[in-house]
Structure 1
Amino acid sequence: MKNHKRTTIYDIAKKLNLNASSVSRALNNDSNISEVTKKLILDTARELNYKQNSLASNLRRGHNRTIGVIVPHINQNFFANVIAGIEEVTYKKGYSLIICQSNESYEREVDCVNTLINQHVNCIVISVSADFKEDTHLKSIVEHGIKLIQFDRVADNLDTYKVVNNNEQASMEAVSHMIKEGYKRIALLEGPQNLNIFRQRKSGYLAALKKHGIAVIPELIIENAWTKELGAAATRKLLSLTQPPDAIFASTSDFSALGVLEIATKMNIPVPETLGICGYSNEAFTEITSPAITTIDQHSITMGQTIANLYFDEAGSGTESLGNKVINIQPELIIRKSTSKCNV
């Protein structure tokens, strides 16, 4: 196969018997280059199929129209939709995105941050990994003069722009809904408590029990059950209790709720008659399971749009906002058949 060498400014300069600096200035519309020479150089560039290195060009001009995004998982509906929301806004502004995936690894997250810093991006948007330990790498972003916007999973103690959900309120509404449907022993599948979102969701669960005068039963709270497999294992454990739960709130994710439903189906436990199930995040599959799973929609596309607009309206302006740096997106409880005990 023939190797097609990338055309450079030196190729253009050689063909026109000019120096490379003149070609570079013409391609960057330098006013010191005559219009006749500019046209000649641009025509030759098109003829040789020259593609300008936008990163190098932007760095020379002192700016780079690129935003880096770091998420735990690209293939989860929530994070994919956040990215789509960001891109919808940035594309119209002529900005590009660089997407990185931490895969829930703190070390990989640090590598992603360093890569984006070295790419001289204008802004880094991040939702931290489940393995998050400390925020030195996030402080490094700010120290390099790069705007930092955290979303969903954030480092609470770091004073940056944050776009988050009201997780506590959403969880309280979900558990209150199940109580009103007649469920009395509601179990909680909780995520890693080093992450703000899972602490908030647990607080909402506890607040709902307190509001309705229901005692907290420690054996009904299962730690770190935040994947489909861990959700399934937690369900087996809960259903083996002398007094098993009659509902399970998978506050970690819909994947965990799917694990609950899978075990209930295998054990021939009717849902929602004998066991109610509620997930979190409104993944696409929750509408088509049997029964469809009650969940909480985090309005992820809106969150992404809000993040991008925050950068352009405030962070990108070169000045710090005088207002609140934390923007809350109100989640929405989506009630489906898996918790509709009263309508069976």
Structure 2
Amino acid sequence: MERQKRTTIYDIALKLNLAASSVSRALSNSSKINAETKALVLKTAVEMNYQHNAMASNLRKGSNPTIGVVVPRINQDYFSNVIAGIEEVTYSRGYSLIICQSNEQHAREVDCVNALVNQHVSCVIISIAAETGTYGHLQQVLDRQIGLIQFDRVVDELDTFKVINNNETASLEAVSHLIEQGYRRIALLEGPQQLDIFRQRKAGYLAALRQHNIPVLEELMYENAWTKELGAVATAKLLDLENPPDAIFASTSDFSALGVLEVAANKGIQIPKELGICGYSNEPFTELTSPSITTIDQYSFKMGKTIAELYFEQTEGKAQIKPKTISIKPKLIVRKSTRRK
């Protein structure tokens, strides 16, 4: 079946023997066009099934009420909640969102950003992929004078607005809680250290051990254990040590903590008596596991709203706002996987 041609203002102008500019003004209710002509143009537009192209109109005006969001994974509760928070604010202001996911891949992140730039979005909101190590694609956003807001995983080299969690403080509180519960050989599952959030979480872990005069042991720190599968592999190796850990802080994610829980259960290890487990992000399943998993709530929905409000603050403000960083303090949620006392 042949696709029907889209009606344009030129088609209406041809039918009515008017200039296209006059049709455009009539459709936008310009005071320069008399009421009789406006009525005729609107009647003809309906008869010809004319549909207003909002994007083209916005581009002609130099604006596009569309914001692009790039996240590592859409199917993680943390990132989906951030997106929901952004959308609650942007929808009320008449803005639309375009959502992309990098799948933790640098090349895919570059493609996402380029696609958004080519669609003339007003702003790109991004959390960096695990593989990303160069940032030319983000500099391109700034060079095009498109808004750029980083959140969660950010790049310090780029002078942009940023919304982050206080990861170091949250990790310090989590590890201190484990120590207060009587755990002493506390292992750390780390994420990729090129990402700032995982460096900060490790710093909090180390600070807690030092504050409580507990030795820092390299054998208890396992790199790049940031998925359920990698968390399980790391846990199996840690538990096979001659002197295994009595607690594991999965600083990377709750998915990693779930891998810890499954391996421990298969080995018949009693949780929390023999092994304490703490995750990060407060994914919904952490309440449903047996035992429920202690974790850290990052207030992701609030973060999303904060990001969107920051965008409108800088675009609608009368005075130019210098880039700033907003830090949101996460909350430790203690559940059965660590509660010994």
Do Structure 1 and Structure 2 share a fold, with TM-score over 0.5? yes
Instruction: State yes or no: 1:340 paired with 2:307.
Output: no
Structure 1 distance, partners of 2:215, 2:97, is: 48
Offset of residue 159 of structure 1 = 1.2
Alignment partner, residue 125 of structure 1:
125
Offset of residue 121 of structure 1 = 1.1
Q: Which AA in structure 2 matches 1:326?
A: T
Q: How does 1:1-344 map to 2 (within 5 A)?
A: 3-317=3-317, 319-322=319-322, 325-342=324-341
Offset of residue 272 of structure 1 = 1.0
Structure 1 distance, partners of 2:320, 2:189, is: 39
Offset of residue 113 of structure 1 = 1.3
Q: Which AA in structure 1 matches 2:39?
A: K
Q: Which AA in structure 1 matches 2:335?
A: R
Offset of residue 19 of structure 1 = 3.8
Q: Structure 1 stretch 20-29 or stretch 134-143: which is displaced more?
A: 20-29
5+ long unaligned stretches in structure 1: none
Offset of residue 315 of structure 1 = 4.3
Structure 2 distance, partners of 1:94, 1:203, is: 41
Structure 2 distance, partners of 1:13, 1:304, is: 45
Secondary structure in 1 matching 2:292: coil
Structure 1 distance, partners of 2:207, 2:109, is: 33
Q: Which AA in structure 1 matches 2:199?
A: R
Offset of residue 338 of structure 1 = 0.7
Structure 1 distance, partners of 2:43, 2:262, is: 64
Structure 2 distance, partners of 1:225, 1:316, is: 42
Offset of residue 15 of structure 1 = 4.1
Structure 2 distance, partners of 1:141, 1:318, is: 23
Structure 2 distance, partners of 1:153, 1:315, is: 23
Offset of residue 14 of structure 1 = 4.2
Offset of residue 316 of structure 1 = 4.6
Secondary structure in 2 matching 1:99: strand
Q: Which AA in structure 2 matches 1:191?
A: G
Offset of residue 242 of structure 1 = 0.5
5+ long unaligned stretches in structure 2: none
Secondary structure in 2 matching 1:341: coil
Shift in alpha-carbon separation, 1:111–1:120, aligned structure 2, 3 A = same
Offset of residue 166 of structure 1 = 0.1
Secondary structure in 2 matching 1:120: coil
Aligned pairs, how many? 341
Aligned residues: CA RMSD? 1.6
Instruction: Provide Cα deviations, 1:174-225, integer angstroms capped at 9, x if missing partner.
Output: 0000110111111000000000000000000000000111001101100000
Offset of residue 252 of structure 1 = 0.3
